[in-house]
Amino acid sequence: MSAIARPLVEPPHEPDSRLGRILTRLQLTIPFGFEMGLERVRKLCAKLGNPQDQLPPVIHIAGTNGKGSTSTFTRTMLETAGKRVHTFTSPHLVRFNERIRLGALGSGVLADDDTIADALEEAERANGDEPVTYFELGTVAAFLLFSRSPADYTVLEVGLGGRLDATNVIPPPLVAAITPISLDHETFLGETLTAIAGEKAGIIKRGSKVVAAPQVDEVLGVLERAAARAGTALQLGGRDWTAGAENGRLVFQDENGLMDLVPPRLLGHHQYTNAGTAIAALRAAGIAPHPEAISRGLAATEWPARMQRLGHGPLTGHAPAGAELWLDGGHNPGAGEVIAHVVGDLEERVPRPLVLIAGMLTTKDPIGFFRPFAGLARQVIAVPVPDHPKGRPPAELAEAARAAGLAAEPMASVEAALASLNGGRFEAPPRVLICGSLYLAGHVLGLNRQFPS
C-alpha cells in the first residue's frame, strides 16, 4: 500500500460532527491512500447492486492539470441550460462535502453531512473486512448517492491516473475528456510522459466519444492509439477544435462552426483551454447547450484555489495594508508554467513586487515548479504544509527555490510569512501568491474562513 497524506476533513468548528467522526475513524482504521486496481471497487459495488451501472450519463474527465476546472466548466454550462448534474471531484480543500455535488434543477448542491455519512456507512458495512482504501470508499459512496437521485448527467473526475482509478469501474461514458498531461504522480503512474499518458488513456472505452486538450507529440501518439483500439476518433484541441482569446472574448471553433462567447470567469489563458475542452466534450456527446447558456456558464464558473483572490479574513489581516493575496493549489512543473504566465500578465497590467509563499510535498518537483518564476518573483517564503506527513521541510523547499534561481527563506507558517512582509520591505504593497499544494490551499481557506460551497 502506498500511503497518501490524510486530507483535511472539516472546517475547524465541525470536527465533532457525525460526518467528521466517521471520516476520522475511517482514516484511522482503513488503509489510506491509493493502491492502483479495480478489483476491490468492483467487488464492493457488486455487493451494493452495482450503483456505478445506474448513474445518469457520464462525462469522465482525466488529465494532469485542469481536471477540476474542466469538470466545473462542464457542470456549470449544463446547469445554466437547466440540466441537473451530479459531480464528483477530488481532493477536497476544506470539507469532504466538496467532493460530492448532487444535481438539482439549474444548480447542484453539495451533499449534506448526514447524506454522505449514511452512504459511507452503508458502503463500509457492505465491504465488511475486505481491503479498501479511503478514496475507493468515498467513490462508491458517491456512486450510491448518484444512482438514487434523479439527474440528467454525471460529471466524474478521475482521482489518480485513469486506467486503474476507482472511478473507472463505470460503463463506457458519453465522452471521455482528457486535459493537458504532464509529469506528476510518477510513483504511481510511471516516470515518463508516455507511461503517464497510457494510464490517463485508460478511461477511453469502446462506445464513447473522446476529446483531448492540446497535447505534446509524445502524449498525442498514446492517446491516438488508445482511441483507435476503442474504435473511436480522438477529437484533439488545436487540430479538431480550437479555443482562444480574441478581442476579449472566448472564440471556440470546430467542424460544426464557430461560437463567440464571453471569456471564462476563471483567471488565466489556460482556462480558455479548459473551457474549450469542456465545450468540445459536450459537443462531441451531442449535449452542448445553446451558446447563450454556454456563455452564462463561463461567466458563472467558480473554482476555489485556482488563482483565487483572497478576501478579507483572519489570515489576510496579517498581510501589509494594500497587498494583493492570491491562492493557487498548483503543485507540478506544468502548473508552475501556467501560474507564472498568469501572474506575469498581472504584472504587465499593474506592476507590484511578487512574493511566493509556498509549501509542497516531498512527492513533487519543487525546482521544476519554481523555475518559471525566476526573474518574476522577488522572493519565495517556504512554509510547512500543516499536518501532512509528506510535507517538505521549509528549509529544504527554500533550498530548491534557490536552485531554481530565486531568493528564498524558510518560515514557520503562512501567518508568519505574511506578517514578515510588513515594515516597508518593498517599495509598494506586494502581490502575494500562496501556492504549491492543494493541501496548503485548503489550510489557507480554513484559516481565512472561506469555505467552498
CA distance 175 to 44: 25
| DSSP class per residue in 9-32 | -S-TT-TTSHHHHHHHHHHHHS--
300, 333, 349 - which closes a domain: 300
Whether residue 452 is contained in a domain is answered as: no
Cell numbers for 418, please give them.
505574511
Cell numbers for 445, please give them.
481557506
295 and 345 belong to one structural domain: no
Cell numbers for 387, please give them.
499536518
Phi, psi of 113 (to 5 degrees): -55, -50
CA distance 194 to 448: 40
CA distance 264 to 274: 9
CA distance 235 to 1: 36
99 and 140 belong to one structural domain: yes
* Domain containing residue 351: 308-447
257 and 127 belong to one structural domain: yes
pLDDT per position in the chain (453 positions), as tens?
232 233 333 333 356 789 999 998 887 777 545 567 899 999 999 999 999 999 999 999 999 989 999 999 999 999 999 999 999 999 899 999 999 999 976 677 999 999 999 999 999 999 999 989 889 999 999 999 999 999 999 999 999 899 999 999 999 999 999 999 987 655 666 679 999 999 999 999 999 999 999 999 999 999 999 999 999 999 999 999 999 999 999 999 999 999 999 999 999 899 999 999 999 999 999 999 999 999 999 999 988 999 999 999 999 999 999 999 999 999 889 889 999 999 999 999 999 999 999 999 998 999 999 999 999 999 999 999 998 888 999 999 999 999 999 999 999 999 999 999 998 889 999 999 999 999 999 999 999 998 887
348 and 228 belong to one structural domain: no
Sign of CA dihedral 319, 341, 440, 306: positive
Whether residue 396 is contained in a domain is answered as: yes
- Helix residue ranges, H only, 107-212: 113-127, 134-148, 186-189, 193-200
